[in-house]
Structure 1
């Protein structure tokens, strides 16, 4: 079986992540060490912090494909099962990977989990009509995750 063409030098990516890891730790963010998988073709990082409403998992493949997973804990003030939002990105260099990680860590710190009922109560009727028309669902069926409301 042929090996995947590398868009990112994974050894250099691992070194860059370890360099940035000390800054994240000093900022109060728990960042896993670089655990390799698939014979150094892929790495997976876990991030969390005391004040965050979500956990962040980042998967990076040597081809340059990266996945960001923002996951709410299963137990929380909202109760119920955890929710996840996944984003796919392409990175073309070690520097771009570092920037993506910094951006994802900053975003994770800004995410808050609010019940949709609270958000819906603050919206104007016109706004709710627009959302309902776009999503094809009623505000009553919304959950804490926007991913649950998808167009038909």
Structure 2
């Protein structure tokens, strides 16, 4: 039987962090226990006879999302980021007070940088050139294109796949722009207002987008033609670029 966490000790850890959060100008909601299947919270610090978990809410005036961190007595932490565009919820294993401290620190730092947007996955086979063999995901958001590198096994699986569904309703994604760009040299974040001109090409097996930015930099993206990226990019870029979009 797995040993359960001491939620009172976990609450004391939140208290220790709270002074630092408040000094940064953040808002910390009253601590509460989540005590039933509906997730209802009780304000204050009085634990119930059989609490299921601990909840703390943190917000900042410049943040794009409100952070809600839940900790279950079974040792799972759930940092959740909630904004106008929707919510993104994660799961982290917590086995010790040190791991709980790390989850809190990482969640607060991520909340200060995260951007929540409704996005549509256009391709899982996106690369940044003919010599780039590792696939990545290509996302279309209201303000930018986002390319995030995957891995070797994903690339192998995608090579034999049939492509994404033509009609994907999209979902809420949360990303840290700086972390995306520093995560790997082939990751891309391309803001639409910064595009000077672009060229879309379709092929039997591979389609591509070449983008010239206003600052003189250039980006090239390739993907399997079975993915719907070319159609979606045409619909999004044509109203922005007009004649500057070559198809």
Q: Using structure 2 for the length normalisation, give the TM-score.
A: 0.45
- Bigger fraction of residues in helix: 1
SS at match of 1:46: strand
SS at match of 2:115: coil
Q: Give the whole-Å Cα distance in 1 for the aligned partners of 2:66 and 2:80.
A: 8
Which stretches in structure 2 are left out of the alignment for 5+ residues? 36-49, 119-140, 146-191, 199-207, 211-219, 234-247
1:95 corresponding residue in structure 2: 98
SS at match of 2:103: helix
Q: Give the whole-Å Cα distance in 2 for the aligned partners of 1:61 and 1:11.
A: 12
Q: Does 1:19 align with 2:103?
A: no
Q: Give the whole-Å Cα distance in 2 for the aligned partners of 1:15 and 1:105.
A: 17
Q: Give the whole-Å Cα distance in 2 for the aligned partners of 1:26 and 1:17.
A: 14
Bigger relative contact order, structure 1 or 2 (CA pairs below 8 A, ≥6 apart): 1
1:91-127 Cα shifts (integer Å, max 9, x gaps): 1111211111111000110113468243134598266
1:76 corresponding residue in structure 2: none
1:55-92 Cα shifts (integer Å, max 9, x gaps): 1111110111111111113xxxxxxxx31111111011
Cα deviation for residue 41 of structure 1 reads 3.0
1:45 aligns with one of 32, 50, 56:
56
**Bigger shift: 62-71 or 110-119?**
110-119
SS at match of 2:79: strand
Task: Give the count of matched residue pairs.
Answer: 126
- Bigger fraction of residues in strand: 2
Q: Give the whole-Å Cα distance in 2 for the aligned partners of 1:86 and 1:137.
A: 27
Cα deviation for residue 128 of structure 1 reads 4.9
Q: Using structure 1 for the length normalisation, give the TM-score.
A: 0.70
SS at match of 1:63: coil
1:118 corresponding residue in structure 2: 143
Q: Does 1:36 align with 2:33?
A: yes
1:109 aligns with one of 107, 112, 125:
112
State which structure, 1 or 2, has the greater radius of gyration over its C-alpha atoms. Answer: 2
Q: Give the whole-Å Cα distance in 2 for the aligned partners of 1:71 and 1:129.
A: 33
Cα deviation for residue 37 of structure 1 reads 2.4
| C-alpha contact (below 8 Å) 1:64/1:92 kept by paired residues | yes
SS at match of 2:70: strand
